[in-house]
């Protein structure tokens, strides 16, 4: 599963790179091409894990960039079932894929049916930003039945008790939000993130931790990879797609490829403290 993949990458002395894009933006076929581009082309390195977002009409975690793309995707007709086509497209490249989705959509589809179709498409698990472990019994059962990762979120404001329950409920890795707020690029990485990762490792030294929210370039990715197992990037990857769409060239993925190259170089340019067993010190 994805946690094992993070551990393999950590053993190589670097952090993993997780790239987020929503299915259906700028349209379904181009979004699938964009996700394939995320994984690298030819000899060019790409992301280590693709996080496929399912657009939602009432996103509580998404910032302005992801909301804009999600709204356009919904207006252009994306449907929940399209996420399985996206998972299949990514899985065919050999790069694992997880889906980030609001729980109401899974509940409406049927938790077990969603898990079954995700597994059949080649998916590795779900990130559920609005579902806490206390309310996730149905997802525990479905993810166990179909062998999927379940990735819950923690934040700097999580109490020690909440942190312990969430970390122990995750399978694969833990999604640590480095900021109090929504997604979006920032000029600086969060000073709260290293402390949050240390708290998680104090509870479970073996836990794999991905840090998201605010990373916008390779230098910031390198900085985060020095203390976390994975760096999660979304808005910075979407910005060039929005620019191309606004310019009337939605099929132009050149800007996306440039950002992927910068981020991939960033996580490969430093030595991960996590790989040295120092992240919890």
Which of these is catalytic: 8, 43, 51, 141?
Answer: 51
Q: What is the largest CA-CA distance in the chain?
A: 50
CA–CA dist 55, 260 (Å, integer): 22
Question: How many H helices and E strands in the chain?
Answer: 12, 9
Active site residue 141: no
Task: Give 3-state DSSP helix, strand, coil % of the chain, rounded to 5.
Answer: 50, 15, 40
Is 154 strand, coil or helix?
Answer: strand
Which of these is catalytic: 62, 149, 226, 229?
Answer: 62
Active site residue 51: yes
Contact 151, 208 (CB under 8 A): no
CA–CA dist 1, 109 (Å, integer): 24
In this structure, are strands 49-53 and 230-233 parallel, antiparallel, or unpaired? unpaired
CA–CA dist 115, 257 (Å, integer): 31
Active site residues: 51, 62
């Amino acid at each position: 599963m994805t946690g094992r993949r993070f551990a393999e990458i950590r053993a190589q002395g670097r952090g993993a790179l997780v790239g987020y894009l929503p299915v259906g933006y700028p349209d379904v076929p181009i979004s699938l091409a964009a996700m394939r581009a995320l994984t690298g082309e030819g000899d060019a390195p790409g992301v280590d894990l693709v996080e496929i977002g399912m657009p939602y009409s009432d996103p509580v975690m998404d910032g302005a960039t992801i909301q804009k793309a999600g709204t356009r995707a919904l207006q252009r007709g994306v449907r929940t079932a399209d996420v399985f086509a996206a998972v299949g497209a990514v899985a065919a490249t050999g790069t694992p894929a997880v889906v980030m989705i609001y729980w109401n959509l899974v509940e409406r589809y049927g938790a077990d049916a969603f898990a079954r179709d995700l597994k059949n498409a080649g998916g590795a698990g779900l990130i559920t930003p609005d579902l806490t472990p206390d309310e996730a019994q149905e997802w525990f059962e479905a993810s166990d039945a179909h062998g999927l990762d379940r990735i819950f979120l923690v934040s700097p404001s999580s109490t020690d008790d909440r942190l312990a329950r969430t970390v122990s409920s995750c399978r694969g890795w833990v999604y640590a939000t480095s900021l109090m707020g929504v997604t979006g690029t920032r000029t600086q990485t969060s000073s709260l993130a290293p402390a949050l990762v240390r708290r998680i490792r104090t509870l479970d030294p073996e836990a794999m931790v991905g840090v998201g929210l605010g990373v916008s370039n390779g230098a910031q990715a390198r900085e985060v990879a020095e203390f976390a197992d994975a760096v999660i990037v979304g808005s910075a990857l979407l910005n060039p797609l929005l620019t191309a769409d606004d310019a009337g060239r939605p099929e132009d993925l050149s800007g996306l490829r440039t950002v992927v190259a910068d981020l991939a170089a960033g996580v490969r340019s430093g030595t991960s403290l996590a790989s040295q067993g120092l992240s919890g010190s």
